[in-house]
Amino acid sequence: MARRTRSVRTQVLAGFATLILAFGGVAVWSLQRQQRTVRSLRLANEVYLPLTAALGEDRGNQSQLATVLDRLVDEQNRVGSQTFIDVTRRSRRGRLAGARAVVQRRLRLALDRDDQRLLEETLRRLDVIDRLWAEDERLFDGLLRTLTSADLARAQREERELIGRELQSKDALTSLIRSLQARVKALSDGAERQQAETLRLTVIATAVACLLGVLTTLRARRALDPLARLRDRAQAVGRGELGTVPVPAAEDEIGELAQEFERMVGAMGARDVALREANEKRLQAERLAAVGRMAAHVTHEVRNPLSSMALNAEMLGDELDAMGEPGSESRRLVRSIQREIDRLTRLTEEYLRVARLPTPRLQREDLGALVDETLLFVAAEMGAAGVELTKVLEEATPPVRADESQLRQALLNLLRNAREAMELAGVASPRVVVRVMALAKDGVEGAAVCVSDSGPGLSAEAEAHLFELFFTTKSRGSGLGLSLSREIAVAHGGSLHAERAPASDGGGARFVLWLPAALDEGATEGAIDAEGR
């Protein structure tokens, strides 16, 4: 099943992207707020304040105009007042047109809804004042004409009407100025408020962004932490500590790397074990070769003197018998010498067999028949030791490729070991069961001989060193038998192992010698060696 992997790179990148977005967001947001404040202040500076100043001047002129008008009829010399009235009349409508142009220009640009409404209202009010002043032009002309005709009563009437209208336009101006001033104040208050708010929110947003930064850093550190453990582990492996350790469960590349690394360490451990085993086998082979050389030497040096000693002892024995002293002490000593010579001869032969174990000459053999012949050979020996020997042919076995004499040697070793184990343990009714059966091993067809006894079985020590060269628990054993038997089995492409015998077969030790079946193409008669030559 594919595991969901959260990539460390993605995690770190996502963290930094969040950070950049957070800081970027804060910067853009505070920039926008600042721009709004600047826009408001510019509107106040460029429109409302100049407008207020211009209209304020007009209002001042209106007050002055009303005062001048009030004195006009009663004045002896009206030249100065008339000049003032003419200048004011001519200039005020021009200024008003200028103010209207400023407002109209501004209205064409994007504005807040409040400013839009205020400027439209300003334009409307300016129109009203302009209309008022346009109508006053006719009244001013009328008043001046009346003054030249010296009709004072009419002049005073017209003068009052004009003063009333001028004061009306002055009030209109005052109200307009107030609403503009109120807007300027609102804008400056708003800017101040926005400034404070922006400052507060910028501090909060910066704190949040910093927190995010800390979290991102911690997260990146946590994601990268297993790397240090992995480095320590690699150093430990470098020192040869190959034992298994728990693998971090992180579902990312580092977790996967750690798992792969542990798999590799496991494979290295397995290879080490295989190497050690191969080395042990090589050592065993080297020791065998050494034994071979030594045996050849010892045999060469000892065999001839031994055989002449045996001959001489036999002649001595015959002589003593002829002298009529068959039961004498001397005769007993000679027999003991003969026994020891026999044992030494057997031992040298055994060493020789190990030393000269030739490549088996393999032939198609019937395992059942071969076992029968071997059992016939040991029957007397077993009978003398009181051992009950049983052979069971479980089923028809396939023919095997075997070197008859080597295989017989291996079987003899197993049978002799069984007898000796039961003898040494003093088993009351010694029993050996030999089973021959068809047996497939690791998917390879073959046949096996199982030699079981009713002895004590294998001790823990024997089990650990059973097939090692020179391992023996017997006082007069050589420790060569099982080692040699396994060599023979392996040289045949087979195997030899030990296990506990089932109770029905005696319940002691059981040795299983397995050989692969002879292939059909090997059915041709004639000898072939282990390499198939």
Residues that bind ligand ADP (CB under 6 A): 413, 417-418, 421, 453, 455, 458, 462, 466, 471-474, 477-483, 508-509
| Rounded CA separation 323/305 (Å) | 26
Least separation, in Å, of the C-beta of 451 and ligand ADP? 8
Least separation, in Å, of the C-beta of 512 and ligand ADP? 12
Strand partners, 500: 509
Q: Residue 450: exposed, middle, or buried by beta-carbon count in 10 A (0-12, 13-18, 19+)?
A: buried
Q: Which is nearer to ligand ADP, 310 or 462 (CB)?
A: 462
Q: Which is nearer to ligand ADP, 6 or 346 (CB)?
A: 346
Q: Give how far the C-alpha of residue 133 lies from the chain's centroid of Cα atoms, to the nearest Å.
A: 89
Q: Which is nearer to ligand ADP, 67 or 473 (CB)?
A: 473
Q: Where are the beta strands (DSSP E) in 263-344?
A: none
Least separation, in Å, of the C-beta of 495 and ligand ADP? 16
**Whether the Cβ atoms of residue 244 and residue 262 lie closer than 8 Å to each other:** yes
Residue 438, CA distances (Å) to 263, 367, 426, 513 in order: 39, 10, 34, 12
Q: Virtual CA dihedral for 131, 137, 139, 145, nearest 10 degrees?
A: -170
| Rounded CA separation 389/27 (Å) | 101
Q: Which is nearer to ligand ADP, 66 or 462 (CB)?
A: 462
Residue with the two structure tokens 């050989």: 515
What tokens were used for 118? 């205020």
Least separation, in Å, of the C-beta of 425 and ligand ADP? 8
Please say whether the dihedral angle defined by the alpha carbons of residues 114, 116, 120 and 125, taken in this order, is positive or negative: positive
Least separation, in Å, of the C-beta of 497 and ligand ADP? 12
Q: Which is nearer to ligand ADP, 168 or 284 (CB)?
A: 284
What tokens were used for 413? 């070793």
Q: Which is nearer to ligand ADP, 381 or 445 (CB)?
A: 381
Least separation, in Å, of the C-beta of 418 and ligand ADP? 4
Amino acid at 303: R
Least separation, in Å, of the C-beta of 417 and ligand ADP? 3
Q: Which is nearer to ligand ADP, 199 or 424 (CB)?
A: 424
Please say whether the dihedral angle defined by the alpha carbons of residues 174, 175, 179 and 180, taken in this order, is positive or negative: negative
Comparing every residue's Cβ against ligand ADP, the nearest one is: 481
